[in-house]
Amino acid sequence: MKRNLLTIATAACAIVALNTSCSMDSKTSNPFMTEYSTPYEIPPFEEISYDHYLPAFEEGIKQQKTEIQAIVNNPETPTFENTILAMDMSGELLEKVAIVFFALTESNSSDEMIAISEVAMPMYSQHSDEIMMNDSLFQRVKYLYDHIGEMEYTTAQKRAIEDTYKSFTRNGALLDAGKKEELMKLNLTLTDLHLKYNKNILTATNAFELVVDDSTKLAGLPASNIAVAAEEAIKRGHEGKWVFTLHAPSRLPLLQFADNRDLRQQMYEGYISLASKDSTDNKPLIKEIVKNRVLKANLLGFNSYADYMTDNVMAKTVDNAEDLLMKIWAPAVKRVKEEVAEMQAIVDAEGGNFKIAPWDYYYYAEKVRKQKFDLDENEVRQYFACDSVLKGVFHMAERLYGITFTEMPDAPKYHPEVKVYDVKDTAGEHVAVFMTDYFPRDSKRQGAWMSEFKGAYIKDDGTQVRPVIYNVGNFSKPTADTPSLLTLDEVETMFHEFGHGLHGMLTRAQYKSQAGTNVDRDFVELPSQIHEHWAMEPELIKYYAHHYKTGEVMPDALIEKLQASSTHNQGFATTELAGAALLDLQWGKINTTDDVDVEAFEKSVAEKLGLPSEVQFRYRSTYFKHIFGSDGYAAGYYTYLWAEVLDADGFELFKEKGVFDPATAKAFKENVLEMGGSEDPMVLYRNFRGQDPNPDALLRNRGLLK
């Protein structure tokens, strides 16, 4: 089943580096090996120590092996219940430890966690491979697949059988013994490479610092960002100076507001060269990842890794994904030329005597926005205190889906900054636990994401097991004088990740492997992206956007400016995103194991696409974690734009009926959020929308269709 297919590991020989023996005493004292006595079975984070992970991994693997063997040894004819469902319910202990460990390696890592990863991940990867390459187990699944038309299965059961069969075949079940062994070695190698790649990014990010010792160079920067830079300087031993880092809340305001062009250039070049030199250089790792992915794809019968990855999702083929991107690419690049011309006019009028460069784009785009719309993002941010925006997010969910959020201050949490909420429906029934972790720290990777500490499913007796969902972000930090004031992009990101959270919280799918976000990769972004639209809806803004000092509601005039400027700079944003997606697909289309020069490859893709010189790929390959840090979005970064066709088209229905129309919200909740992966995603979309999505909706949403 999908949840057993995480193949994240490193060299198996590392297992001997630590003692993983598990005595009875350690079992009884290990929080993972007992039932959680916490509210709603939230993991008891305060009780978990480093030495609990490896024994729990080892015991969890041992238990699941026994459970899988019991399925294989069952003398009865295979049924959905004794095979598919039994597999889905196996590995409870392993799931408990893995779900916590993998979460904390991303959001609260440490040298100790990295050391444990180098032991635990090979164990986990090898165990997953052994399950998916177990021929006796596969034969039971194949029997059900071959006889699927002879039984009266529900739609969800049929889909579970089909998905499980395909998961087995995509993970080597049809290979002979020698090729299975080869695939397992490839998976271990890739896991090791992913670990090293991610470690390099985190190390390089934390090592970078742009130290400013002259206050005049800070002209143009918001006071709140200057204050954070001063605090960072003290933290790093540069008291009396200012330090800027590559974390988005530090990097982006500097690029957007700093009048000093040299400062902007230093920051920009620091970012695009991240993890590309010295001991943290990821280029050699990328070469090996690409080679091993080609070998894996070929072993499984595919011409390229991109063919392998798109075969299992809505797109079905690389050509379909690429065709969509190219339809977006041309109008986006055309708009970039218009945007650059507007910016260059300002440079020339100011006597700048230079051509717009990539490190100028954010800065002069902001000047154009002020000129065209009389809109200053610094002014707007005063109304977007983090806590106020979160209230808006919760209010949206209450209006649309009838759920409320009550903080649980005494609930277990893995870091002091985490907040925990009890989510209930209109009848007062518990729906989910929701956690937020919104600010950057050295132990957290960049970006924003959603996942779960506990999955949802329905027991045989009809009892519903409800989930524990969390959102992680890297938003602008509060200072001693001001709360966290979010940028427009951060506001949308909070709504985006909360949309993923709703997908996890509101699921009513019966089976674990189909609950919540366990859907096709190019469908998973629909719930996240459609909820971004509410962030700037006037009706909701008036509820949550209050000036952090005066409490004043955002004035209508300012809201109107936000609406008028909603598609500002979309040429840049779309070109940057589509360019990264196309770069990803080009990496995936490689079908040779010859050495690839990473920088030359990127350059050739940019030239072939006609990437404007003023715009860079959203992520350079050395820090494109989505596609090289794991297999999650490899040859799949296009899915953000694929899903935007759905979300833009879907939100047009809300606009037509009313953004808080109860019937439309109910249709989306019941057909998309609750169903998870229990039905074909396009069927779910049609059930909600009443029609196929219109690709032009994306271009309209981004203001690229005239």
pLDDT band at 706 (very low <50, low <70, confident <90, very high): low
pLDDT digits (tens, 9 = 90+) for 222-243: 999 999 999 999 999 999 999 9
For residues 139 and 216, state if they share a domain.
no
Report pLDDT for 315. 84
> What domain range includes position 233?
208-273
b (16+ CB within 10 A) / e for 650-682 = bbbbbeeeebeeeebbebbbebbbbbbbbbebe
Identify whether the C-beta of residue 30 lies closer than 8 Å to the C-beta of residue 56.
yes
Quick check: 195 pLDDT over 70? yes
Give domain status of residue 363, yes or no.
Answer: no
Number of domains in the chain: 2
| Phi, psi for residue 471 in degrees, rounded to 5 | -115, 135
pLDDT band at 331 (very low <50, low <70, confident <90, very high): very high
| Phi, psi for residue 219 in degrees, rounded to 5 | -55, 135
Identify whether the C-beta of residue 68 lies closer than 8 Å to the C-beta of residue 134.
yes
Across residues 396-419, what is the average pLDDT? 98
Say how far apart CA 507 and CA 369 lie, in whole Å.
40
Give domain status of residue 111, yes or no.
Answer: yes
Say how far apart CA 695 and CA 698 lie, in whole Å.
6
For residues 19 and 128, state if they share a domain.
yes
Say how far apart CA 473 and CA 449 lie, in whole Å.
7
Report pLDDT for 7. 30
Q: Which amino acid is at 245?
A: T
Say how far apart CA 381 and CA 385 lie, in whole Å.
7
For residues 8 and 94, state if they share a domain.
yes
For residues 128 and 215, state if they share a domain.
no
Give domain status of residue 548, yes or no.
Answer: no
Quick check: 319 pLDDT over 50? yes
Question: Average model confidence (pLDDT) for the chain?
Answer: 93
Helix, strand or coil for residue 595? coil
Give domain status of residue 159, yes or no.
Answer: yes
| CA 573, 577, 582, 586 torsion-angle sign | positive
- DSSP-H helix ranges across 208-317: 223-235, 248-257, 261-272, 283-299, 305-310
| CA 221, 224, 225, 228 torsion-angle sign | positive
- Domain termination site, one of 247, 273, 299: 273
Beta bridge partners of residue 404, listed in sequence order: 424
What distances in angstroms separate CA 376 from CA 277, 372, 482, 485, 518, one per listed residue?
37, 11, 19, 14, 40
Across residues 543-548, what is the average pLDDT? 97
Quick check: 18 pLDDT over 70? no
Report pLDDT for 8. 28
> What's the predicted TM-score (pTM) here?
0.90
- Domain termination site, one of 273, 303, 319: 273
Q: Is 595 exposed, middle or buried (0-12, 13-18, 19+ CB in 10 A)?
A: exposed
- Domain termination site, one of 115, 144, 170: 170
Q: Is 105 exposed, middle or buried (0-12, 13-18, 19+ CB in 10 A)?
A: buried
For residues 165 and 19, state if they share a domain.
yes
Identify whether the C-beta of residue 442 lies closer than 8 Å to the C-beta of residue 404.
no
pLDDT digits (tens, 9 = 90+) for 48-97: 999 999 999 999 999 999 999 999 999 999 999 999 999 999 999 999 99
pLDDT digits (tens, 9 = 90+) for 143-153: 999 999 999 99
User: Tokens 């080609």 identify what position?
Assistant: 294
For residues 138 and 251, state if they share a domain.
no
For residues 153 and 24, state if they share a domain.
yes
Say how far apart CA 445 and CA 490 lie, in whole Å.
16
Chain centre to alpha carbon of residue 444: 14
For residues 115 and 262, state if they share a domain.
no
Give domain status of residue 145, yes or no.
Answer: yes
Kindly give the interhelix angle for 386-401 and 488-505, rounded to the nearest 10 degrees.
40
Report pLDDT for 27. 59
Q: What percent of the chain has pLDDT over 90?
A: 92
DSSP category for residue 670: I
For residues 32 and 79, state if they share a domain.
yes
Residue 413 zone, left/alpha/beta (φ > 0; ψ -120 to 50; rest): beta
Across residues 29-38, what is the average pLDDT? 96
Report pLDDT for 604. 97
Give domain status of residue 381, yes or no.
Answer: no
Quick check: 13 pLDDT over 50? no
Give domain status of residue 692, yes or no.
Answer: no
Q: Is 685 exposed, middle or buried (0-12, 13-18, 19+ CB in 10 A)?
A: buried
Query: What's the token pair of residue 325?
Result: 């991107």
∠ CA(61), CA(64), CA(65), 5° rounding?
85
For residues 214 and 77, state if they share a domain.
no
Q: What percent of the chain has pLDDT over 70?
A: 96
Say how far apart CA 392 and CA 385 lie, in whole Å.
11
pLDDT digits (tens, 9 = 90+) for 389-406: 999 999 999 999 999 999
For residues 233 and 164, state if they share a domain.
no
CB-based contacts of 153: which residues, under 8 Å, 6+ apart? 80, 161
Choose among 585, 527, 645, 704: nearest CA to 321: 585
Say how far apart CA 183 and CA 93 lie, in whole Å.
26
DSSP category for residue 673: I
Report pLDDT for 521. 84
How far the first Cα of the chain sits from its last, in Å, is 45
Report pLDDT for 28. 61
Q: Is beta strand 430-437 parallel, antiparallel or unpaired with respect to 457-458?
A: unpaired
Q: Which amino acid is at 654?
A: F
Q: Which amino acid is at 470?
A: Y
Choose among 127, 143, 24, 162: nearest CA to 72: 143
Q: Is 449 exposed, middle or buried (0-12, 13-18, 19+ CB in 10 A)?
A: middle
pLDDT band at 480 (very low <50, low <70, confident <90, very high): confident
Q: Is beta strand 468-472 parallel, antiparallel or unpaired with respect to 430-437?
A: parallel
Quick check: 305 pLDDT over 60? yes
For residues 141 and 222, state if they share a domain.
no
Across residues 639-660, what is the average pLDDT? 95
Query: What's the token pair of residue 308?
Result: 């392998």
Identify whether the C-beta of residue 26 lies closer than 8 Å to the C-beta of residue 131.
no
pLDDT digits (tens, 9 = 90+) for 103-134: 999 999 999 999 999 999 989 999 999 999 99
Say how far apart CA 662 and CA 675 lie, in whole Å.
18
Choose among 270, 269, 264: nearest CA to 367: 264
Q: Is beta strand 430-437 parallel, antiparallel or unpaired with respect to 419-424?
A: antiparallel
Quick check: 342 pLDDT over 90? yes
Active site residues: 497
Chain centre to alpha carbon of residue 628: 14
CATH number at residue 88: 1.10.1370.40
Give domain status of residue 316, yes or no.
Answer: no
HSE, side-chain direction, 13 A CA sphere, residue 333:
16
